Amino acid sequence: MIYDEPRFTPGGDRFIEMELGDELNFDLNFLVHALTARVREADFDGIIELLPNMASIVISYDPDRIGYDDVVRKIGGIFASLGSLEDVELPSPLYTFPVLYFDHVTRACWEDYCARIVEKEYDPDLMVRLNKLESRAQLARIHSGTEYWVAALGFYPGLASLIALDPRCRLTAPKYNPPRTWTPKGTLGYGGSVTCLYPARTPGGYQIIGHSPVPVVDLEQRLRAFRDRLALLKPGDRVRFVPVGREEYDHVEAQVESGEYEHQVAAYAKFSIRAYHAWLETLDMSIRF
């Protein structure tokens, strides 16, 4: 549910968790980001950082500059003055990532897991079976058939939780048990109802179904998109995956390696929840791609 009144709870002497609801719900997550944007605009003295997530925001503050009660009062006041969510429009850059589905990189990772840890069904086949799809081709079609919303980042720097905006493209996947000890950087993963691009070689638990040569984190800041940041995506951005063949994949990979690659992004794009809701109404929910 979405709470009528947000709930504030302390996290020690310099953090507050603000819960706006307790479910996985796109409108609720949009509310989280709309509120985060408004609090940032208000630029209260003493509020240091905001950490928006699925249904809550963790606020860090400097207790020498603002007290707990004042943080609650000021942010609660902004919540109360938000007005109708339908009228909110947020900047939402749209990034496009080329993906080689069912690729050699993640297949090698799955083979290594089967050999060293435990035998398991090939991840794309498991997703096809559990989601009652016809084929791997349909899995790729559905996965790449929607824009994704960056609902949150975290756990690892640059790791974004992506939610399908077209409800017909929502899939589900169980997590690895036990988890993988390594996952290649650039792996496309799916766990629960969330998809992600692994920003670095890390352990992992999501099913792995493809690979993109385009980085979401660049610690050396070699590529142009990283001139002012180490991690590409921010909450409220959008992502689209475009299936490519091996030739295009190799071409992009070479461009990334040489430092010439330019990320594809519609930086001007905005997201209107009213327009999104209206679009949802027009969908034929019986169609599966």
Partner 1 sequence: MIEVVKAGLETSVQDFPGRYGFWEQGFPPSGPFDMWSFRLANLLVGNAPDVAGLEIQFLGPTLRFERETVIALTGATMAPKLDGAPIPQWESVAVPAGAVLETGFARIGARAYLAVAGGIETAPVLGSRSTFHMAGVGGMEGHAIEDGQHLPLGACAKDGTPGRRVKEDCRPPIPKENSWQIEVVAGPNDDWIDEAGQRMFLESDWTLQARSNRTGFRLTGPEWTFAARATDKGPEHGEHPSNILDHGYPVGAVNLCGQTPIILVNDGPSAGGFINPYTVPSAAFWKLAQSKPNDTYRFHLVSVTEAQAARRAIDALCTESSLEDAR
CA 119, 186, 265, 49 dihedral sign is positive
Which of 2, 14, 126, 131 is close enough to bind partner 1 by CB under 8 A? Answer: 14
Q: Going edge to edge, which strands form the sheet with 15-21?
A: 2-10, 15-21, 56-61, 47-52
Question: One symbol per residue from 208 to 227: x for binding partner 1 (CB under 8 A), - otherwise; what is it?
Answer: ---------x-x--------
- Select 76 or 154, whichever has its Cβ closest to partner 1: 154
Residues 191-210 binding partner 1 (CB under 8 A) are 192, 200
CA 15, 20, 25, 28: dihedral to nearest 10 degrees? -100
24 touches partner 1 by CB under 8 A = yes
The footprint of partner 1 on this chain (CB under 8 A) covers a number of residues equal to: 47
CB of 205 to partner 1, least distance (A): 11
Which of 6, 52, 189, 210 is close enough to bind partner 1 by CB under 8 A? Answer: 52
Cβ atoms within 10 A of the Cβ of 121, count? 14
231 touches partner 1 by CB under 8 A = yes
CB of 83 to partner 1, least distance (A): 24
Which of 39, 55, 75, 256 is close enough to bind partner 1 by CB under 8 A? Answer: 55
42 touches partner 1 by CB under 8 A = no
45 touches partner 1 by CB under 8 A = no
Tokens of 260: 């010439």
CA 120, 124, 128, 129: dihedral to nearest 10 degrees? 0
Here the contacts of 105-113 (C-beta below 8 Å, separation 24 or greater) are 105/184, 105/186, 105/187, 105/211, 106/184, 106/187, 106/188, 106/208, 106/209, 106/210, 106/211, 108/184, 109/180, 109/182, 109/183, 109/184, 109/187, 109/208, 110/208, 112/182, 113/176, 113/180
- Select 124 or 236, whichever has its Cβ closest to partner 1: 236
Q: Which stretch binds partner 1 (CB under 8 A): 7-15, 79-87, 105-113, 246-254?
A: 7-15
What value, to the nearest 5°, has the Cα angle with vertex 32 and ends 29 and 35?
150
11 touches partner 1 by CB under 8 A = yes
Question: One symbol per residue from 67 to 106: x for binding partner 1 (CB under 8 A), - otherwise; what is it?
Answer: -x--------------------------------------
Which of 64, 119, 262, 284 is close enough to bind partner 1 by CB under 8 A? Answer: 64
Residues 124-153 binding partner 1 (CB under 8 A) are 152-153
Q: Which of 50, 32, 256, 26 is nearest to 162 (CA)?
A: 26
Cite the DSSP H helix spans in the chain.
Answer: 26-42, 68-80, 104-116, 123-130, 136-143, 246-258, 273-282
- Select 210 or 236, whichever has its Cβ closest to partner 1: 236
Binding residues for partner 1, rule: CB under 8 A, are 9-17, 19, 22-24, 48-58, 60, 63-64, 68, 152-159, 161, 192, 200, 217, 219, 229-231, 233-235
